[in-house]
Structure 1
Amino acid sequence: MNIKQYLDSTYLKTASQAGLSEAENNDVVKKAITEAIVEGFKLIMIRPEYVVLAKEMIQKASSTLLIGTVIDFPEGKSSIEDKVKEANQAIDDGADDLDFVCNYEAFKNGEIALLKQEIVYGTQIGLAHNKTVKWIIEVAALSDKEIIQLSALIKNIVISNFKEEDYASVFVKSSTGFYRTENDLPNGATIPAIIMMLENASPLPVKAAGGVRSYEDAVEMIRLGVKRIGTSAAKEIANGENTTNQY
């Protein structure tokens, strides 16, 4: 199976997180973009400040590589106004996919009206500009019951507010890859979590992010029904190699 068009090649570390200077981290981003172009991946997923750079490199290479970026990353706690502002800037800069971190803490605290509002506003902005929107639910921060409930809630909000032809452009996504778990438990996509998401988010598509570390893992996710996979080791996975990368 050629899995490259399922893979969102991902680099989301800041310079400080990577232990690099800003210039060195910028070089890592450039390398990731170049690799995604050469390998023919679906998308390069980068932080908002690198979208303009990616756009320039992709245009220069006459590539069809898509650009994705994260909104309110990684905690999802910002106001709706801040989320909207960040999304609009990403659109202006040339992003194709907007991966919002939903306010999962608000959800856990029962603030459902707030969550509904940000999902409607964020999705409206993306769809109005023909962008793909993904809502990151951070499965490692949720119980199984909460994964089921939040996946279903996002689905129901989208179905209630948008047209059927829009559903394929609104994903539910598993993880940021940056959530800190206790006792070194998985912080990304697991098979049980993805199954719960698929069963409860449908007809919205699902993106598995974090924890996919081999070609076999990726194929299993695809066979389950996942439409996109986020990984910082896209080349290794596509080439059938295992990786120890955490995302």
Structure 2
Amino acid sequence: MNVNQYLDSTYLKTPEQAGISEKETEQIVVDLVNEAIENNFKLVMIRPNFVSMAKKMIADAGADVVVGTVIGFHEGTATVVEKLEEAEKAIKDGVDELDYVVNYEAFKNEQINLVKGEVFKGTKIGLDNGKVVKWIIEIAALTNEEIVGLTQLIRDVVVENFTEEQAKEVFVKSSTGFYKREDGGPVGATFEGMELICENAKPLQAKAAGGVRSYEDAVKMLEMGVTRLGTSSAKKIADGKTASEGY
């Protein structure tokens, strides 16, 4: 199976998180975009401040790679207004896909109307502007029951407020890759978690982010019903190799 068109090649660390300079960070993003162009990956997933640069590089190369960015990253606790402002800026910069971190803490605290409101408003601004929208639920912070409940909430908001065709442009996504578990367990996509998302998201799509480090795991995820894979090891996966670390 050619997995390249399912891969969202990802780099989301700030200079502070990586312990490097802004210039070094920019060079990593430039290399990521060039690698995606050369390998015909589906998408590059980068911080909002690099969207304009990436779009220009891809246009100059005449490539088909699309550009995605993260909104409310990585905690998901920004206000709805803040998330919408961030989304509007990314849309103006030419972004193709918006990956919001849903306020999963609010969901866990049973602030259901708050979560429904942000899912509706965030999805609407994306779809109204012809963008793909993904909602990151951070499965490492949730029980299986909460994974099912939050996935169903997102599904229901989208299905009840948008057309069937529009719903196909919305994803439930597993992880940011930045959440830290006290027990040291997996912080990215797991087969168990993705199975729950796939079963409960339809007709929305499912994105497995983080934790997919080999071609074999990628194929298994796709066979389960996942339609996009977020990874910082896209080249290794595409080449049939296994990544020892990374997102």
**TM-score normalised by length of structure 1:** 0.99
Measure, in 2, the Cα distance between the counterparts of 1:115 and 1:152: 12
Q: Once the 2 structures are TM-superposed, how far is the Cα of residue 199 of structure 1 from its aligned partner?
A: 0.7
Shift of 1:183: 2.6
Aligned counterpart, 2:45 = 45
Q: Is the 8 A contact 1:45 1:69 kept in 2?
A: yes
SS in structure 2 opposite 1:123? helix
- Residue 116 of structure 2: aligned partner: 116
CA distance, structure 1, for counterparts of residue 240 and residue 183 of structure 2: 29
Structure 1 contact 10–231 (Cα < 8 Å) conserved: yes
Matches of 1:131 and 1:245 in 2, distance apart? 31
Counterpart Cα distance in 2 of 1:116 and 1:200: 16
SS at structure 2 position matched to 1:178: coil
Q: Secondary structure at the match of 1:207?
A: strand
Spell out, residue by residue over 1:162-189, the C-alpha distance to the aligned partner (whole angstroms, 9 max, x if none): 1111111000000000000123200010
In structure 1, the partner of 2:85 is: 85
Shift of 1:246: 3.3
Instruction: Give the whole-Å Cα distance in 2 for the aligned partners of 1:40 and 1:231.
Output: 15
Stretches of structure 1 lacking an aligned partner (at least 5 in a row)? none
Q: Is the 8 A contact 2:233 2:246 kept in 1?
A: no
In 1, the alpha carbon distance for the partners of 2:62 and 2:230 equals 23
Alignment of 1:78-157 (within 5 A): 78-157=78-157
Report if aligned partners of 2:171, 2:205 keep a CA contact under 8 Å in 1.
yes
d(CA) in 2 for partners of 1:71, 1:196 = 24
Deviations 1:87-125 (A, max 9, x none): 000000010000000000000000000000000000000
The reply to whether residue 4 of structure 1 matches residue 7 of structure 2 is no
- 1:156-195 maps to which residues of 2 (within 5 A)? 156-195=156-195
Percent identical: 55
C-alpha distance in structure 1 between counterparts of 2:27 and 2:219, whole Å: 31
- The total of aligned residue pairs comes to 247
**Any stretches of 5+ residues in structure 2 without a counterpart?**
none
1:202 and 1:144 map into 2 onto residues whose CA distance is 17
1:27 aligned residue: 27
Deviations 1:18-40 (A, max 9, x none): 11111111111100111011110
- What per-residue deviation string (whole Å, max 9, x for no partner) do you get for residues 182-212 of structure 1? 2320001000000001111111100000100
1:178 maps to amino acid: F
Do the aligned residues in 2 keep the contact of 1:232 with 1:245 (CA within 8 Å)? no
CA distance in 2, matches of 1:29, 1:127: 26
**Secondary structure at the counterpart of residue 182 of structure 1:** coil
Q: 1:245, 1:60 → 2: CA distance?
A: 32
* Structural mapping, 1:61-72, within 5 Å: 61-72=61-72
Q: CA RMSD in A?
A: 0.6
Are the counterparts in 2 of residues 177 and 246 from structure 1 also a CA contact under 8 Å?
no
**TM-score normalised per structure 2:** 0.99
Question: Counterpart amino acid of 1:140?
Answer: A
